[in-house]
Amino acid sequence: MKSKEGVPGLRERKKQATRAALADAAVRLAAEHGAENVTVEAISSAAGVSPRTFFNYFDSHDDAFLMIDAEVGQRIRRAVREAPAEHSVLDVLRDAFSAELVDVAERHEVWSLRAKVFQRSPHLLVRGLGAHMAEELELAEAVAERLGGVAGEPVGLYPRLAAAVATTAIRVSIEDWCRQAQDVSFTDVFRRAFDHLASGLTDPGAAPGPPRT
């Protein structure tokens, strides 16, 4: 539960910490032994909790490697729906994601290891793609509602494209940041990605063209 100021309360912070500890343990063990050789019991033991607690946070063994949190997705979609009307969709998406990506900067090693785990375990890559596509569609529905659409109606091209572009920017930002030194700020990489989108993906090295008429 969050406080009135929007800061997570103690109970929520503890839940977030436990979930992160389980995900981190899963990725570290998989990087060393292979995802198929890592058990729920081993993950739970490494995180200092019981296997029963593991299933309070993840529905299955594989879900621990995906690092997808349904509650985070819900908060992002709520932020998109409730942001001030004068803000652009791109700015709203950037700010909604930014508020939930604070901990990424503290987990450079884990995100780097996760990329290696997925390379070695194609079934996780496929499962992760499916999960992200489902979240992307839900985000598109939130964008559509923000733009005046009605919940339950088919989602149009623009909301789906906006959601897809934003989620792709997040993925590419994390991948690019993981390839760089740890002293590079994830926030800087993330912000640059959205600046490129805001510019219409204009080539940053291109000379200015003639004014449009």
What pTM value is reported for the model? 0.80
Q: Which residue do the tokens 């389980």 mark?
A: 22
> 64, 30 in Cβ contact below 8 A?
no
Domain residue ranges of the chain, discontinuous segments joined by +: 1-65, 67-201
Residues 102-116: tens digit of each pLDDT: 777 778 788 888 888
Residues 14-68: tens digit of each pLDDT: 888 899 899 999 999 999 999 999 999 999 999 999 999 999 999 999 999 987 8
Which class is domain 1-65?
mainly alpha
Q: Amino acid identity, residue 192? A: R
* Average pLDDT value for residue range 127-153: 91
Same fold, 1-65 and 67-201: no
Pairwise CA distance, residues 94 & 190, whole Å? 9
Compute the residue count for the chain: 213
The HSE-up count of residue 210 (CA atoms within 13 Å, CB side) is: 1
CATH topology of domain 67-201: Tetracycline Repressor; domain 2 (1.10.357)
pLDDT for residue 157: 96
